[in-house]
C-alpha cells in the first residue's frame, strides 16, 4: 500500500510531463484525480528535489489550455513540498493560454482565479497551498508590483524553508 501511495504522488507530478509506471499498478497518470488539499508537511523534513518537476510543470502552463490546467493541478497537488520551488519561478512574465484556473474542492465551494501571466497563476497556486497572499493576483499589476510580491514571497519562503533557501530564490544551479 505504501508503494501504491508513492506511485500516486508521483503520478500527480507526472500528469503533465509524461507517463510514469509503477510495478503492479494498472492506471496511468491521466487516470488519477486527487484533491488539491494535500496534508501539510513539515518545513524541516528532508526535502525532495522537486526543482526539475516544477520547472517542467511551469513550462507546461504556457503550452496550451489543457496543458495549463493539468500543470496547475499538478503544482497544487505537490502541496507544501513544492512551495519553495514554485516561489523560485515567480516573476515569470509569460502570458497564459487560458486566463482561468478552477480549484475543485470536496465539501467546500469551488474557487476560480483569472491569471493573465504565469506569475499570477503561481501566486494563486501558492495561496491555495499556503493560505497566504502578498498582494492582489490579477493581470492588472505592474511589473514593479509583481517584483515586490516576489520579494515578499522569497523572504517568507527563506524564513519557513531555510534548508531550501536557494530554491526559494530561484537558484537552480544548486
Contact criterion met (CB below 8 Å) for 154 and 89: no
List C-alpha distances in Å: 87 to 5, 17, 32, 48, 103.
26, 20, 26, 15, 19
pLDDT at 13 over 60: no
Residue 90 has pLDDT above 90, yes or no: yes
pLDDT category, 15, cuts 50, 70, 90? very low
Q: Is the pTM value of this prediction over 0.95?
A: no
Q: What is the DSSP letter of 136?
A: -
Phi (first) and psi of residue 112, to 5 degrees: -135, 145
Q: Classify residue 112 as exposed, middle or buried by CB count within 10 Å of its CB (0-12, 13-18, 19+).
A: exposed
Amino acid at each position: 500500500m505504501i508503494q501504491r501511495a508513492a506511485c500516486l504522488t508521483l503520478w500527480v507530478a507526472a500528469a503533465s510531463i509524461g507517463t510514469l509506471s509503477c510495478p503492479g499498478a494498472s492506471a496511468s497518470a491521466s487516470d488519477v484525480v486527487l484533491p488539491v488539499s494535500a496534508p501539510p508537511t513539515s518545513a524541516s523534513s528532508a526535502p525532495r528535489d522537486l526543482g526539475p518537476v516544477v520547472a517542467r510543470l511551469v513550462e507546461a502552463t504556457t503550452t496550451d489550455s489543457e496543458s495549463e490546467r493539468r500543470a496547475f493541478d499538478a503544482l497544487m497537488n505537490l502541496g507544501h513540498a513544492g512551495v519553495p520551488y514554485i516561489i523560485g519561478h515567480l516573476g515569470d512574465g509569460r502570458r497564459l493560454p487560458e486566463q482561468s484556473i478552477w480549484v475543485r474542492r470536496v465539501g467546500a465551494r469551488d474557487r476560480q482565479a483569472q491569471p493573465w501571466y504565469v506569475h499570477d497563476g503561481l501566486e494563486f497556486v501558492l495561496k491555495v497551498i499556503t493560505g497566504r497572499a502578498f498582494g492582489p493576483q490579477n493581470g492588472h499589476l505592474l511589473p514593479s508590483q509583481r517584483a515586490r510580491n516576489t520579494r515578499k514571497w522569497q523572504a517568507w519562503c527563506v524564513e519557513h524553508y531555510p534548508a531550501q533557501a536557494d530554491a526559494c530564490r530561484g537558484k537552480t544551479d544548486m
